[in-house]
Amino acid sequence: MKIAILDAKTLGDEIDLSGFNKFGEVEIYDITLPEKRIERIKDKDIIVTNKVVIDKEVMDNAPNLKLICVAATGTNNVDLEYAQKKGIAVTNVAGYSTNSVVQHTFAMLFYLLENLKYYDEYVKSSQYSKSPIFTHIGKPFWEIAGRRWGIIGLGSIGRKVARVAREFGCDVVYYSTSGIKRKEEFPEVDLDTLLSTSDIVSIHAPLNEKTKNLITYEKIQLMKMNAILLNLGRGGIINEEDLAKALNDDLIYAAGLDVLEKEPIDPNNPLLKVKDKDRLLITPHIAWTSFEARERLVNEIIKNIEAFLEGKERNRVI
């Protein structure tokens, strides 16, 4: 088998990729620009892609291609319909990053809620060393116990965030973006009720026609002035221009984003011009990237290849 890993840099330099060698000849590329796709894939039997787009043009120029392994859960970078027509199997990996994303959700919350940047800088600037008292309450914060946590998208990640939040003593409610009715351990409410009654709102939903621009300026106006809004789902669910305006207008206390509509961030993104930068935390799509999550991801891809070669159905999208 001839295998190409097209964007290995998205998996991290410290992740061992030697497990792919047992399948045959492996070529590893840190990144693959659009104009390099056909050249690198044309003679391959199997390719591994995280975000490199595999479309009709690429597949038509890869006569030996039998399997596309998506190094992620979402498969929007692959033309699934055309792959099916060509008889090319596609696999993905689900659930590998749940613990990592849940952990990052709470890391973002506490960083914002407890003003950790402010307090760290207060000590390191030598102001604390000159204090006449042992403590400093320059920016008060509140406990999340007894507060309402609203979750948008109660999938595997949202559900685990809900359970952890409940252990902290939160009153948890959720809004289903799919509209599918299920028996859940948490009460379901409509979106406006969730936004208007929650102290913390976290998004763990996919981006689709139902969630695109779900959170606009008008929706943020419903929220409490002390509320914290977190997006660990997909960029585009929150209208970024509206969020920047809402923060500048003091509609909510703070926001934390790990995902953006365009990644990497556009240098002209209005979020980069928010007046009070301490009230906005943006991380570069890293919630999924704990070392353990990336190890699980690679191991699952290897198992997907093994299953495909043995003629078994495992994590097959088509």
Residue among 25, 143, 263, 292 flagged as catalytic: 263
| Residue with tokens 């939903």, as numbered in its chain | 205
Q: In the annotation, is 104 catalytic?
A: no
List of residues 6+ apart from 199 with CB closer than 8 A: 144, 147, 148, 149, 224, 226, 227, 228
Q: In the annotation, is 314 catalytic?
A: no
Residue among 37, 147, 234, 296 flagged as catalytic: 234
Mark 183-207 as b/e (b = at least 16 C-beta within 10 Å): eeebeebebeebbbbbbbbbbbbbb
Report the C-alpha gap between 237 and 259 in whole angstroms.
9
Q: In the annotation, is 285 catalytic?
A: yes
**Alpha-carbon dihedral sign for residues 103, 117, 216, 51:** negative
Closest alpha carbon to 141 in 114, 116, 122, 120: 114
Beta bridge pairs of residue 150: 173, 201
Residue 87 region by backbone torsions, left for phi larger than 0, else alpha for psi between -120 and 50, else beta:
left
Residue among 285, 294, 296, 300 flagged as catalytic: 285
Question: Do 244 and 270 form a contact (C-beta atoms < 8 A)?
Answer: yes
Which residues are marked as active site?
Answer: 234, 263, 285
